[in-house]
Amino acid sequence: MNKNFVEARRRTGMSQYEVARRLGIDQSSVAYWETGKRTPRASLLVKLADLYCCTIDELMGRSSA
């Protein structure tokens, strides 16, 4: 799952710091998601998907098959 978070962020051209700033959280939280040490709260998944212009399923590595 962490690979999806990294790829989505990089597609937008944002740094971990920028994502954290826009979401009002610490950069360390973004780093934890990207290394797979933690997952974001459900409320943040919605905001992340909006920020990254993708779906929650895409972030979570679920296909629409």
Helices 16-23 + 42-52 axis angle, to 10: 120
Residue 65 maps to a domain: no
User: Per the structure, how many domains does the chain have?
Assistant: 1
Please check whether residue 19 is in contact with residue 13, taking contact to mean a CB–CB distance below 8 angstroms.
Answer: no
pLDDT score of 27: 97
Please check whether residue 9 is in contact with residue 19, taking contact to mean a CB–CB distance below 8 angstroms.
Answer: yes
pLDDT score of 13: 97
Residue 64 maps to a domain: no
Asked if residue 65 has pLDDT above 60, the reply is: no
Q: Cα(18)–Cα(54) distance, rounded to whole angstroms?
A: 17
Asked if residue 1 has pLDDT above 60, the reply is: no
Residue 16 maps to a domain: yes
25, 35, 55, 56, 63 from 15: Cα distances, Å = 13, 15, 20, 20, 26
Domain CATH number, residue 17: 1.10.260.40
Residue 53 maps to a domain: yes
pLDDT score of 64: 60
Residue 40 maps to a domain: yes
Q: Which residue range is the domain that position 52 belongs to? A: 2-59
Choice between 28 and 63, residue whose per-residue pLDDT is larger: 28
- List pLDDT tens digits, range 20-59: 999 999 999 999 999 999 999 999 999 999 999 999 999 9
